Amino acid sequence: MINQSDILQTIQMIERENLDIRTITMGISLRDCADPDIGRLCDNIYQKITRTAKHLVKTGQDIEDEYGIPIVHKRISVTPIALVGEACKQTNWVPIAKALDAAAQEVGVNFIGGFSALVHKGYTHGDRALIESIPEALACTERVCASVNVGTTKAGINMDAVAQMGEIIRQSASLTAEQDGLGAAKLVVFCNAVEDNPFMAGAFHGVGEPECVINVGVSGPGVVKSALEHVKGQPFDIVAETIKRTAFRITRMGQLVAREASSRLGVPFGIVDLSLAPTPAIGDSVAHILTEMGLELAGAPGTTAALALLNDAVKKGGVMASSHVGGLSGAFIPVSEDAGMIEAAEKGALSLEKLEAMTCVCSVGLDMIAVPGDTSAATLSGIIADEAAIGMINQKTTAVRLIPAIGKSVGDRVEFGGLLGHAPVIAVNPFSCQAFVARGGRIPAPIHSLRN
């Protein structure tokens, strides 16, 4: 039952604490769009997306108006395009990205994810064509996001793909240098990518998903911080319990929106991703939750422990609020998208190495981090390999979204605007990993992957 107190609490969370639904994401299968002719393939993709998602944005707006719940973005995820385009022997797949972008623009969504390939164990023709097309595809489109999965706990890490993705990230940044490397900001490299993630840039509609599905991503770092302000100085048991109760309330709102959108669109409800997704707005920061626990800045000694507590408590509280929790679910630490993380990076409290340690216990990985423009492709690949190893060994999703700031160096700043925010350029380790990356092959799966 919903009582008056619940309603008043929710109003306060929305009006004063930046609570919102970060995204309603419609997942659409494009498997039936395959065609050997790239022109027909593009037309099939455009027609299916515009037909299936034509009411998505209006439905989201109607729910916002009726319930007073802000829904920041409406998005689409599609079947990994490397699978959809497999029958097409043309090697330049930029026209497919343009078809995705045109469809996204027509239906009015903010982003469309799924210009993706899964190569954790090796390449197919389609995988190679898609990956080689990523830099140009992201440079000439506005809404398209790309991702590549290079490792899993079961398969190990495809180091040939890791080496290539370092080059692809540099090319993506170079082609969008006038936009501070925006192309690289729309590209994620994963280990253990999930099929039902509603968040960009890593969303795609997995092959185990239904024809069409609605996934919702909630947010609310400001709500959690506000709750912790009432338990200052209390033991961590109390802190964890407070976060759990708050995460429950946040997720219940996400469940309501997800089911309402599902019912109105006539599309199955998939999952609620209960991740704490920050924004550059003041009062909407995961880093400020950590400082509320007693840290001077995110990155200070104790940060990894604080983040581990936060991530675990969010999951425990959220999973009781919805029967279908999925996606990534936990706490995100994107540097450019979080006011507290930006401040910590600017003051030198956060290094790349400290961020890497934090990714061992958070939901994703090294996210929205600007590095010097002269960072080599091999160094980018080495960072990807390290992060993929954390995911592979710990049986969790990890990801890398690095932005080489072309023409800029440590201390300079990149500006993206909107939810992508801005970030200082931070230092990378200057020592070479070129010979390591050049070995290629596959890092074998860990022994604990043999569970059958």
CA of 36: how far to CAs of 33, 40, 55, 86, 423, in Å?
Answer: 10, 8, 30, 8, 43
CA dihedral 132, 137, 138, 144 (to 10 degrees): -120
Within 8 A by CB and 6+ apart from 11, the residues are 68
Model pTM score: 0.91
Within 8 A by CB and 6+ apart from 431, the residues are none
Report the SS3 class of residue 413: strand
pLDDT greater than 70 at residue 12: no
Within 8 A by CB and 6+ apart from 289, the residues are 221, 224, 225, 228, 276, 310, 331
pLDDT attached to residue 57: 94
pLDDT greater than 50 at residue 18: yes
* pLDDT category of residue 323 using cuts at 50, 70 and 90: confident
| For the ranges 11-20, 53-62, 160-169, the one whose mean pLDDT is highest | 160-169
pLDDT digits (tens, 9 = 90+) for 29-40: 999 999 999 999
pLDDT digits (tens, 9 = 90+) for 356-411: 999 999 878 898 999 999 999 999 999 999 999 999 999 999 999 999 999 999 98
CA atoms within 13 A on the CB side of 170: 18
pLDDT greater than 80 at residue 277: no
pLDDT attached to residue 282: 66
DSSP secondary structure code for residue 116 in this structure: E
Cα 351 to its chain centre, rounded Å, is: 21
- Paired tokens of 428: 């990378």
What class is the 1-444 domain? alpha beta
Instruction: Match 């409406």 to its residue by tokens.
Output: 74
pLDDT attached to residue 339: 86
State how far the Cα of 448 lies from the Cα of 202, in Å rounded to an integer: 26
- Paired tokens of 67: 């319930």
pLDDT greater than 70 at residue 190: yes
Could you tell me where the beta strands, DSSP code E, fall in 388-438? 398-405, 413-417, 421-424
Helix axes 38-52, 94-107, angle to 10 degrees: 20
